[in-house]
Structure 1
């Protein structure tokens, strides 16, 4: 059994269950199934890997803080209001009057893991306008260590160190061994467009310094040449929990007790954005609750299914009573589950 999250140095424990640190941007996606070149109308949303996790954890009943930096522009106002409305503490978010809030445009579909513009219509077009953003100026000097360490879990991703040298320095410092360090969660979240001028090999160094690591099988192949969960574990023996996600085939968790694989669910997909972040949130929620590894993987799949059955980046997690009931099914019943829009609130009872 992997260790329970460390609770800090004070008897009362930290004030938050989780702290999630990283950039959040305003996201625009076409109102219809068009390419970016053809779309005339866009739907505005909010997108950020770490804040997605924060919002889902808050929706699952956890005390969560998001740490980031936004411009003082209207887009920054929108991001802050949206995340706060989800029950996330935003009191530690900095506002930079000299730098803008980042923006990005994307179509639906899976992210491409090569540097080429995707020719496959099933892959998403993603266009960032985040150079020089307020978040890219984050550094060890702009983030209070006590704030970052104010949760039982500190969740980071491989997006932040790709933004700038100062962001890389920040993540390197936060992942350093130190007394009273929270349980460190790290989602590799490889974004090929962000690493064109940087060496993504640093993602392996950062992952090795963390306690719980999430990586997609496709990411591991693209960045490290590791093919399969066992090969990834050979590269990353240090984390106490290593989760290798393999899309519709399922996910494997490696711990000191061995490996555990849970097949993915059959889902009626409305949008693929945010499923990876949702999986991490479901797994971390179950970790915070002290559930066994198999249940953690199942809660990851269920929260990912919540994201897959709605369009946009942010979804509501399944009601805990529903998720607990489904996570407790035997293997045969789990394999028969078919989830579609509305299932998270029982409107379509699985």
Structure 2
């Protein structure tokens, strides 16, 4: 049974929810043993931390087990300024676990232990309570949460309905995970969600999951179809090749920022945090893309899911010349 943690706080800029897991990062092959670094990881909480560091009020309404791993998740989010008043503890299920196993300089294997976890049992009523207590300006969802099971899928669907009732902006990051569900399963859910979405963020190969099976293959035409469905802007991530935003006014592209890549994990979530941050600040499309590729670059240049996310004061650092000492 899930129970709320504490009284609801004031209205946030952004509400998000999903599964955040205990994260263990090995120094090499797991079968050889050795030391592991302990942290937490979850797409939605990565975005929440990124937004919090940029000065926004964020509420995370996921579920964790009544265990020490759950304590670490909540302690970490609180320490990063994220409101967890909408979160819940599940006495009958554990907090999920993710293991990172470096195998080659640029290859890391990921092992999930999340079946039957607290996050996979997140109830719609918990999300409803977190939403209606103080409706947010924006709701951020990912395609990971509905892939966890029927309960979190219903919770996400309820959140979309509440967002429409309260005129809350909806941002969806497709974030397709083939190890959680098939492309056919994802498409059946995501296509139903499109009429509720205001800002769609996806990599170029994820857009077809949001469109009818007979949609054209040309990316520009795909974006136009999505805009015709009522989506305000379609943001496409191209990784090292930057990103683009499609709106009724046309397409605008931005190159990626050049950094020494250390760890790509969490870069997409950092990108989303930067884009949403600039959107909340009322910036135009060019500034939104610029902040997004900047925050994404910080993540790529740092190890961990969220640890490298910049503060607002740090955003100009990537514009400094290489080797410059910033005093």
Q: Please report the TM-score for the alignment, with normalisation by the length of structure 1.
A: 0.80
What whole-Å deviation, never above 9, does each CA across 1:269-310 have from its counterpart, x for those lacking one?
Answer: 121110000000000000010000010001001111111111
- Matched residues in 2 for 1:207 and 1:39: separation? 45
Aligned residue in 1 for 2:87: 93
The whole-number CA distance in structure 1 between the counterparts of 2:206 and 2:299 is 20
Match of 1:82 among 59, 76, 87: 76
Structure 1 gaps of 5+ residues are 1-13, 110-119, 327-333, 341-345
Paired residues of 2:271 and 2:294 also in contact (CA < 8 A): yes
1:66 correspondence with 2:66: no
Gaps of 5+ in 2: 1-9
Q: Say yes or no: does 1:298 pair with 2:285.
A: no
Aligned positions of 1:133-148 closer than 5 A: 133-145=117-129, 147=131
User: Distance between the aligned counterparts of 1:231 and 1:35, measured in 2?
Assistant: 44
**Which piece of structure 1 moves more, 122-131 or 221-230?**
221-230
Equivalent of 1:19, from 15, 19, 27?
15
Q: What do you get for the CA RMSD once the two structures are aligned? A: 2.8
Cα–Cα, structure 1 residues 253 and 38, in superposed 2: closer, same or farther, change >3 Å?
farther
* DSSP 3-state at the match of 1:178: helix
In structure 2, what is the Cα distance between the partners aligned to 1:75 and 1:146?
22
Quick check: which one's helix share is greater?
A: 2
Q: Which moved more, 1:136-145 or 1:98-107?
A: 136-145
1:249 is matched with which residue: 236, 241, 245?
241
Q: Could you say what secondary structure the match of 1:54 adopts?
A: helix
Equivalence for 2:222: 232
Aligned residue pair count: 310
Q: Deviations over 1:220-242 (max 9, x none)?
A: 46887875641431452231011
State the Cα deviation string for residues 137-182 of structure 1 (Å, max 9, x = none). 1132332255266211111110000011121112122223633231
Q: Report the Cα distance in structure 1 between the residues aligned to 2:183 and 2:208, rounded to whole angstroms.
A: 20
The match for 1:129 is 113
Residue 138 of structure 2 is aligned with which of 128, 153, 157? Answer: 153
Name which of 46, 51, 58 aligns with 1:57: 51
Match of 1:143, SS? helix
Residues 36 and 125 in structure 1, CA contact (< 8 A), matched pair in contact too:
no
Q: Hey, what's the Cα distance between the residues in 2 that align with 1:72 and 1:159?
A: 23
Q: Report if aligned partners of 1:220, 1:227 keep a CA contact under 8 Å in 2.
A: no
1: distance between equivalents of 2:183 and 2:316? 44
**Aligned partner (choices 261, 275, 278) of residue 269 of structure 1:** 261
